[in-house]
Structure 1
Amino acid sequence: MRFSIISTVACSMLACFSQAFAQQETSPEGLTSDQVIERSGVPSSAVAAVVNDAVVTTFDLRQRIKLMLISSGGQIPQDALPQLQAQALRDLIEERLKLQETKEFDMEISDAEVMDELSVMAAQSNLTADQLIQTLEGAGISVNSLKQQIKAQIAWPQLVQGRYRDRVRVNEDEIDNTLERMREDASKEQFLVSEICIPVDNPSQAQQYYQGGMQLIEQMRRGVPFAVVAQQFSACTTAAVGGDLGWVRAGELAPELDSAIRELPAGSVTNPIPSEGAFMILAVRDKRPAVVKGEPSFTLAYASADASLGNAQAHAALEKISTAEICAGRALRIDLGPGVGYSLLENVTLDQIDERFRTFVEDLDREEQSIVIEADGAYHSVYVCDKDEGLGLPSRDAIENRIYSRQLGRISQQYLRDIERESMVDVRIENFQQPNG
């Protein structure tokens, strides 16, 4: 969604940006743009955009551009500044829309939450929050500009998750299919990958989005680091860390992306690749050989019943392991009956299992239960919650979380587009030059 502002041959930067919004003539309160400006007391010449009942001023825009420049280490070329300006304005408008929507649902982000996030950001640069604020003020940046940005970054995901998490269903087949692809490809290379996401809001303008992505690649050819471009222009959640996806195993990404990184030499960047309603730009920073298969490890739900219960009662109790919630660690919801104890054993290798029980466990697969074993005055049984086959594959929970985040991210983008269509967004600025300093 953010890349509807990229300039193309067909239209200028700000002209494209203005056309990206489905504007309404009045705000939800029934006010026109001019009435909103008059009520705000801001001179018309200082208004960059009107967003429902709020204005974005040229001062706000100037502050955001300075913030983007300082966060990039001043590595943005001069000829990229118009693109940076358009992106800064887009970000400010989206923040207003997000904060207005969260206000509708009575969501409040406290100053303490904002300061906590500010402290985390400062720590990434080996600074305290006060030192970061001093650095910003020394560069002529009001910390309020950053706080506004942080507030939207905290509030929006909370709102989206609160409203839509029940709509996201990660199918077990999706997890199985992902694991199967990764298992089949475990003998192949792994890739250290970074990403830039360019959501395609309007499929009829896909070529314009593609050209916008190519402009970013051109900036990288001129020396702008991939991480800097990702921080400023990517719509992925990884933008905050420069687009870093970390080490990715073959088969872990969507097929069209997986195919591209396999063919790419280390140190190279793909052209924009259409994938799931967006264009993706991937950088392969490094490659390494496949993982050598090691020793399998298990996450086991273990239960034991005292022999005094008797054979029949002990077996009946232990059979409940597979339907209890030991694997989820929800102890308060587990009831195997009196005289039965249980525990969750994570990342257990075969050599850590009592040799008397080892042969009953080693051939079990996920969601399989051992027979009931009688030893040391008790009955014992284990259920396999998860199994790492020694290939270093991520857990099912990790894969589920990744799929869940991707699905929720798509919902978030659609939600924001819907808000835009129902809002009055009037871009007033035509030509704005960022002053020196």
Structure 2
Amino acid sequence: MSELMLRTLLAAGLIGMGGLTAGLAASPAAAQDAPQAAEDQAQPQARPQVGTAVAAVVNDHPISTFDVQQRVRLMMATSGAQLSEEALVQMQRQALRDLVEERLKLQEAERFELTIPDEAVDEELARIAASGGGSPEALARDLAQQGIAIETLREKIRAERAWEELVQGRYGPRVNISEGEVEDVLADLREQSQTEQFLLSEICLPLESQAQAEQMRQVGMQMIDQMRQGVPFQALAEQFSACPSAARGGDLGWLRRAEMSPEIAQIVQNLQEGNVSLPVPTQDGMMVMVAVRQKRDAAEAGEPSYQVAYAGAPKSLGREAAETGFARLKQANPCTGDALSVDLGEGVGVNALPMMPASAFAPQFQPVLADLERGEQSDILESETAFHSVLMCARDEGLGLPSRGQIENRLAAEELDRLSRRYLRDVERDSAVDLRIATGG
């Protein structure tokens, strides 16, 4: 596989692994013998009809050992290192686990009569290929050289796309992040604004039960051994991590302690720059390894910025009429950017101004804006020709904090991901999953 296409698939998350949760172990021989069969299976349509065994049955729908081999080959093509027998067995376990989950997702979509058309899959393949500077045909040829059928990716795309639409349709309207939740995060960030910041990456290994803790710890230790042999943290995160950050190679970006879970904050506190932590269990049912890539002091507060709604009226309107119109400003919801919900009266104009630095405002407004908190409105201001009032929609103290919208989006994504995982567990619990290959501890 070309390096360009490899990076393309990794970045797209199409060869990441959803989790190391299942106790499913196939014989290592299946994966070890794969290179010998590569030539026979080089073409995407070359699915053997003879000698293919059933690896699992999901609600009467079989998953073949060929399907498992295809997924293992995809993982091996991106491993970047010689795998131990234990790691190879774990890879086969995960390959089967991923396929079982994908089959469950597609069956659940079918239950709701949700179908992802071939055209949508083609568009996603084209987008993925284009992001790496290639074409779908080149991507298929690249994979075929490794004995991997392009249909392996197509089915993964179809399953994930269907699941995303299901989860969004079922839970999206329920995810409502309150103003208080956003404000709590912002308050914590402000409090910690003068502390260190950390550029972090993570690998998450899910724990379905406490009995798996030692097994997952050993898997994590094997990954650390591979890192010592030169395998990048990013590649392992893309392959094995169960967290959403896997699509970014485990990258969490720059974080302050207030943005971290208590377990991660404790790990980071005791970890030097450039080091990777030992596997640590968390309250979220994960075994987590954290890499501290860089540390830096918090940036000094810079110039504040403000997003405001401005109301103005000419002096000819009269102060009383201007005050009456300005009093309706909050009820008009001017900060949303939509049409005003309340008319402020004839002669009173309103403008929603984007986030701008304090120096961009006229000098007479700067001290007024500095004293306004979000949601507060100024008293009437008078100039030579007009009356004015401003409503503070949002403010940035110059501390480099994320915007309210960014925080809300992050909290919503985290909640939707939590609901998605719970939904999948419920679907699996109510399904008949029969594993036909050997299971391991």
- Normalising by the smaller structure, the TM-score range is 0.7 to 0.9
Partner of residue 209, structure 2: 202
Query: For the residues of structure 2 that align with 1:333 and 1:48, how far apart are their CA atoms?
Result: 60
Partner of residue 139, structure 2: 132
Contact in 2 for aligned 1:5/1:14 (Cα 8 Å): no
For 2:20, the aligned partner's letter is F
Matched, 1:152 2:159: yes
Partner of residue 255, structure 2: 248
**Alpha-carbon deviation of 1:295?**
0.6
Alignment length, in residue pairs?
Answer: 401
Residues 237-246 or 126-135, more deviating = 126-135
Give the TM-score normalised by structure 1: 0.83
For 1:314, the aligned partner's letter is A
**Alpha-carbon deviation of 1:404?**
1.6
Contact in 2 for aligned 1:76/1:224 (Cα 8 Å): no
Partner of residue 321, structure 2: 313
Show the 5 A alignment for 1:274-353: 274-331=282-339, 333=341, 335-353=343-361
For 1:56, the aligned partner's letter is I
Query: For the residues of structure 1 that align with 2:312 and 2:253, how far apart are their CA atoms?
Result: 41
Query: For the residues of structure 2 that align with 1:137 and 1:404, how far apart are their CA atoms?
Result: 39
For 1:414, the aligned partner's letter is R
Contact in 1 for aligned 2:200/2:253 (Cα 8 Å): yes
Partner of residue 395, structure 1: 403
Percent sequence identity is 45
Summarize the Cα distance change of 1:240–1:412 in structure 2 as closer, same or farther, 3 Å threshold. same
Partner of residue 406, structure 1: 414
Partner of residue 96, structure 2: 89
**Alpha-carbon deviation of 1:363?**
1.8
Partner of residue 56, structure 1: 63
SS at match of 1:141: coil
Partner of residue 383, structure 1: 391
Summarize the Cα distance change of 1:105–1:362 in structure 2 as closer, same or farther, 3 Å threshold. same
Summarize the Cα distance change of 1:328–1:129 in structure 2 as closer, same or farther, 3 Å threshold. farther
Q: Compute the RMSD of aligned alpha carbons.
A: 2.7
Query: For the residues of structure 1 that align with 2:384 and 2:129, how far apart are their CA atoms?
Result: 56
Residues 292-301 or 379-388, more deviating = 379-388
Query: For the residues of structure 1 that align with 2:26 and 2:134, how far apart are their CA atoms?
Result: 36
**Alpha-carbon deviation of 1:373?**
1.9
Matched, 1:269 2:286: no
For 2:305, the aligned partner's letter is S
Query: For the residues of structure 2 that align with 1:377 and 1:286, how far apart are their CA atoms?
Result: 54
What are the Cα deviations for residues 8-28 of structure 1, in whole angstroms up to 9, with x where unaligned? xxxx8459xxxxxxxxxxxxx
**Alpha-carbon deviation of 1:45?**
5.2
Give the TM-score normalised by structure 2: 0.83
Structure 2 unpaired stretches of 5+: 1-17, 28-47
Query: For the residues of structure 1 that align with 2:415 and 2:295, how far apart are their CA atoms?
Result: 28
Partner of residue 3, structure 1: 20
2:423 to 415, 426, 432: 415
SS at match of 2:120: helix
1:239 to 246, 250, 259: 246
Query: For the residues of structure 1 that align with 2:166 and 2:439, how far apart are their CA atoms?
Result: 35
Summarize the Cα distance change of 1:203–1:401 in structure 2 as closer, same or farther, 3 Å threshold. farther
Summarize the Cα distance change of 1:206–1:310 in structure 2 as closer, same or farther, 3 Å threshold. farther
Query: For the residues of structure 2 that align with 1:317 and 1:203, how far apart are their CA atoms?
Result: 63
Summarize the Cα distance change of 1:129–1:182 in structure 2 as closer, same or farther, 3 Å threshold. same
Query: For the residues of structure 1 that align with 2:99 and 2:302, how far apart are their CA atoms?
Result: 50
**Alpha-carbon deviation of 1:309?**
4.4
Contact in 2 for aligned 1:302/1:382 (Cα 8 Å): yes
What are the Cα deviations for residues 182-215 of structure 1, in whole angstroms up to 9, with x where unaligned? 2222222221111222333234544444444344
